[in-house]
Amino acid sequence: MTPRQARHRFAATTLAAVAFLTPLTTGCDAVDKALDCGRLAVEISNDVDNLQDALSGATADASDADKVLDALDKDIDKVGDHTDNADVGKALGDLRKAVDNVQTSVDSGEHPDLSPVKDAAAELTDVCTP
Contact call for residues 54 and 61 (beta carbons, < 8 A): yes
**Percentage of residues in the chain with pLDDT exceeding 70?**
67
Q: What is the pLDDT of residues 70-127, one digit of tens each?
A: 988 888 888 777 677 788 889 889 999 999 999 999 889 888 889 999 999 899 888 8
Closest C-alpha to 52, from 7, 87, 1? 7
Sign of the Cα torsion 39, 45, 47, 49 reads negative
Q: What is the pLDDT of residues 37-76, one digit of tens each?
A: 777 788 888 888 888 888 886 556 778 888 888 988 888 8
- Residues 121 and 114: their CA atoms lie apart, in Å, by 11
- Helical axes 29-55 vs 115-128, angle rounded to 10°: 160
Model confidence, pTM: 0.70
